[in-house]
Each structure stands twice: as structure tokens, then as C-alpha cells.
């Protein structure tokens, strides 16, 4: 799927303009959950992030059983695998073929369930829109009036190009139109009025199709970025929660990160919060001394995703009994929108066995969906062993119990890892509460504990 401001990592942007559809956070939410306005200072652009299932999220995903969330997570993993083999399904939209018979599509499920949430301000005069954030996507898009084919219900009003004095459509001959295929893996189309049409598809029948556009992006305190390139969606089908659209942070010239890099620098950082807290997304400079780093890995499979090299996992201070080649044989992506970390099968089997051995005094529970190492009772009653994920260069994620195990219902806790197929993925459950920096300029990714504090 993306504006790279994650992750993902899905992140929704909070509407600042009142509207009959605007969801006001529950009175039970503390003031700490209320978003400060996006702001720009000497250290870059700063936005607030919400967990997609936080009760105080401005646009929460539908109330789904955790088994459905895991099913959606599997769809996203399949989508990423299809992307690496260049086999994503193409959108089937009447915007592209207006004479075609409309065929009902299955709702997409990989976009809105795992991504975190924030807000952006767009247009002149500027209005704010709730958005998903995704490190696995390049093109940013939002729903646009008149929604000539289909728009899902969203928080607040749909973006109206006619109401912005600085909006303009991108022509088919523009260089940005030529860049669409590398950003979306789908070729651009051209309207009868010479407007470039984008097609962003996500591997599970969810998609956005519309007109490539430019407008002014406001960064707070009077700072603005003219000619921000984004998709003005006219046909948006899938499970996007009640967001207005999606922000892409991948390594592509059309991503939000790349468009802001000339003025803010080519890096971003985030802390993905739990349902009981808020996090942040920052674009621009950061404090380098607090992180341990691993090099970004290059891959011929996709030059826009963020690849890393996992070298070992320890449980209770002991390395897993697998060879180093077990880690190296599968490409590994760090992603803000995948919930459960996927490991090469041999590595996963060893991790599952080590955790089960450490918890052998606790009663086992049946497998739950894709999670097969489960125990009776809640996480708080388990003596979860210390688990560390070590990456090339020595960067280490020292996982807290809540990053290792997950409560799937009121009576069952499971290991929050699963075996992978063609691609391994460092998911957002393992990243929660850590500060993670993507320093694209220096080709490195860093980790630091206690980020959301």
C-alpha cells in the first residue's frame, strides 16, 4: 500500500475541523490522548500517532474479534509477498473503464486494521484529515469529492478540490505521472481531459483509483509545502476504517518522506503506541546518540520497502539453536502495518520451542488462528522470558513481555510471532513503545527503548 511520514506500520490523521461525522474522543479518554496540532520546529515535523484500536483514536477501525484482525494481517502479508513477486492484482474500477459493467468487489482487509493514525492539513484554506500511515506504501491519497464511483464513510468531510485555491490536477505528460508505476506497481492511465489517473492496489481487492493531484500541505505555524503530490481518490474500496486516506512513507520519490526531504532531511522516526497511550511520527532531524543501528539492506525485489538483516534471537539470554543461514535465507522487511512478526520457519519453530520450554509450568491452550503457541490465562500471570531480536551491526530490540506475547481473548495468551513464507516481516507488535528511526540518508535503521514516554 503509502505516505512515509508506516507504518505499515496503519496510522490515521486526526481531523481538526468540526463536522457532523467527526468522532469526539470518549470522555473517558484523558487529556494526554488529545492531539496537539502538527508542528514544525528546528528538529522537524511532529505528528501524534494513535493505535488503530485505541478507544481514543479519532477514526478507529471496526470493532472486530482478534481472530478477524489476524486474518486481515495474513492478507497484508500475502499482499507484501505478491508485491515482491510483482503479482499484485490490478484494480477493477469503472473510473478506468466507465463503460464496463460494475462487478461487486470483496472488501479489502489489509489496509486499515494494522496501521496507526495521525492527521495532515491540506489545501487553501487548509483543512485537516484523518489518515492511515504506512511505511510499506509510496503514494499518499485521500478521498475526493465528487467521489464519482465510490467513497467509504470517513470521519469529517471529504476533500473538495473545488474549495482549495491551490489545487491542480497533474497532466499525463508530467514527470510525476511517469513515476506512478514505480510507486504503485500499476501503470498510470490518462483521462479524456489529459489528467493522470493513478491505481493503488493492495493485493486483497482493496484499492484506490483517482486523479494524481497537487496542493499545498500545511505543516503548522504558517509553514507550507507547495505542490505536494497526492492521489485524489474517486473510487476507494476496502477496509480503511473511517480514515480519509493513506500516507505513504516508503522509499519512492512520490512518498511524503521524499517530498519533504529537501527541506526537512531524509529521515523519519516514530513510536508506535499501545491502545492505552499515544505515540508520535517525526520527519526530519533526530538525536542520533540514543539509537543502536542496523544497516538498511538493498534488495532487487523492491527498492521502496525497508529491508533489514536479522542475525539472531535470544530467549533468556541464550541464542536459538539454528544456523545463521536460517536467518539469511529469507528477505526481511520492517513494516509499520503488519501486526504479527513473521519469521523463517526454522527460526520460528526454535523460538516457539524455547518460549514453550520457559513457560512449561503453565497450562497450554489450543492454537488461535495463525498463533499456535498459546497458554491459558492473561499475559500478566505469565513469567515471560526475556527475548531479544538482534540485527546486523548489533542493533537489538529487547522485547518487553507485551511485545513477546499477546492476549487474544479474556482467557488466552499467545506468542505474538508466526512462521513466514516468502518474506519475513518485523511487525508493529514487536515495535510498540520503541523509538524507531529510518535514516534513509545514511541507509540505517535505529532502535531505542522507551520512545513513547
List, by residue number, the catalytic residues: 134, 335
> Are the C-beta atoms of residues 184 and 89 closer than 8 Å to each other?
no
Collapse the DSSP code of 76 into the 3-class scheme (helix H, G, I; strand E, B; otherwise coil) and give the result.
Answer: helix
The strand pair at 116-122 and 127-134 is best described as antiparallel
Buried/exposed code over 22-33 (b: 16+ C-beta within 10 A; e: otherwise): bbebeeeeeeeb
Give the DSSP letter of residue 215: E
- Give me the numbers of helices (H) and strands (E) for the chain, helices first please: 8, 29
Distances (CA, A) of 342 to 335, 412, 413: 11, 20, 18
Distances (CA, A) of 236 to 15, 116, 145, 252, 253: 19, 19, 12, 22, 23
Collapse the DSSP code of 190 into the 3-class scheme (helix H, G, I; strand E, B; otherwise coil) and give the result.
Answer: strand
Count of CB atoms within 10 A of residue 433's CB?
18
d(CA 130, CA 119): 5
- For CA atoms 126, 129, 135, 138, the dihedral sign is negative
> Are the C-beta atoms of residues 98 and 113 closer than 8 Å to each other?
no
> Are the C-beta atoms of residues 167 and 214 closer than 8 Å to each other?
yes
Helices (H), 117-218: 175-178, 180-184
Give the DSSP letter of residue 68: H
> Are the C-beta atoms of residues 200 and 177 closer than 8 Å to each other?
no
> Are the C-beta atoms of residues 85 and 422 closer than 8 Å to each other?
yes
Q: Which of 127, 150, 147, 114 is nearest to 246 (CA)?
A: 114
Amino acid at each position: 500500500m503509502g505516505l512515509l511520514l508506516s507504518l505499515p506500520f496503519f496510522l490515521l490523521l486526526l481531523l481538526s475541523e468540526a463536522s457532523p461525522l467527526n468522532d469526539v474522543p470518549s470522555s473517558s479518554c484523558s487529556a494526554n490522548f488529545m492531539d496537539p496540532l502538527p508542528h514544525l520546529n528546528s528538529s522537524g515535523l511532529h505528528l501524534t500517532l494513535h493505535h488503530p484500536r485505541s478507544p481514543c483514536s479519532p477514526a478507529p477501525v471496526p470493532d472486530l474479534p482478534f481472530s478477524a484482525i489476524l486474518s486481515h494481517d495474513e492478507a497484508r502479508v500475502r499482499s507484501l509477498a505478491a508485491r515482491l513477486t510483482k503479482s499484485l492484482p490490478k484494480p477493477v474500477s469503472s473510473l478506468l473503464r466507465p463503460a464496463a459493467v460494475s462487478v461487486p468487489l470483496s472488501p479489502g482487509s489489509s489496509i486499515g486494521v494494522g496501521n496507526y493514525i495521525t492527521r495532515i492539513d491540506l489545501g487553501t484554506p487548509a483543512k485537516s484529515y484523518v489518515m492511515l500511515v504506512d511505511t510499506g506504501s509510496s503514494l499518499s491519497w485521500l478521498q475526493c469529492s465528487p467521489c464519482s464511483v465510490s467513497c467509504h464513510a470517513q470521519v469529517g468531510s471529504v476533500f473538495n478540490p473545488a474549495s482549495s485555491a491551490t489545487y491542480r490536477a497533474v497532466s499525463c505528460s508530467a514527470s510525476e505521472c511517469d513515476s506512478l508505476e514505480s510507486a504503485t506497481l500499476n501503470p498510470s492511465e490518462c483521462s479524456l481531459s489529459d489528467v493522470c489517473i493513478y491505481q493503488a492496489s493492495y493485493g486483497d481487492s482493496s484499492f484506490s483509483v483517482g486523479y494524481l493531484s497537487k496542493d499545498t500541505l500545511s505543516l503548522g505555524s504558517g509553514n507550507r509545502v507547495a505542490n505536494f503530490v497526492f492521489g485524489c481518490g474517486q473510487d476507494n474500496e476496502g477496509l480503511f476504517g473511517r480514515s480519509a486516506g493513506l500516507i505513504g512513507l516508503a522509499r519512492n520519490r512520490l512518498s511524503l518522506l521524499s517530498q519533504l526531504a529537501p527541506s526537512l532531511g531524509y529521515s523519519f522516526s516514530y513510536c508506535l503506541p499501545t491502545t492505552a497511550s499515544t505515540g508520535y511520527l517525526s520527519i526530519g532531524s533526530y538525536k542520533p546518540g540514543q539509537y543502536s543501528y542496523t544497516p538498511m539492506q538493498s534488495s532487487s525485489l523492491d527498492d521502496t520497502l525497508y529491508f533489514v538483516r536479522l542475525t539472531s534471537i535470544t530467549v533468556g539470554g541464550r541464542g536459538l539453536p539454528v544456523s545463521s543461514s536460517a536467518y539469511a535465507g529469507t528477505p526481511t522487511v520492517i513494516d509499520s502495518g503488519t501486526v504479527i512478526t513473521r519469521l523463517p520457519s526454522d527460526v520460528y519453530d526454535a523460538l516457539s520451542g524455547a518460549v514453550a520450554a520457559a513457560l512449561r509450568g503453565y497450562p497450554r491452550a489450543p492454537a488461535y488462528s495463525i498463533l499456535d503457541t498459546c497458554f491459558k490465562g492473561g499475559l500478566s500471570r505469565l513469567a515471560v522470558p526475556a527475548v531479544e531480536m538482534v540485527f546486523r551491526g548489533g542493533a537489538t530490540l529487547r522485547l518487553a513481555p507485551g511485545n513477546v506475547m499477546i492476549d487474544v481473548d479474556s482467557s488466552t495468551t499467545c506468542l505474538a510471532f508466526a512462521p513466514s513464507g516468502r518474506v519475513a516481516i518485523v511487525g508493529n507488535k514487536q515495535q510498540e513503545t520503541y523509538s524507531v528511526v529510518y535514516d534513509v540518508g545514511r541507509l540505517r535503521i535505529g532502535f531505542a527503548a522507551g520512545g513513547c514516554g
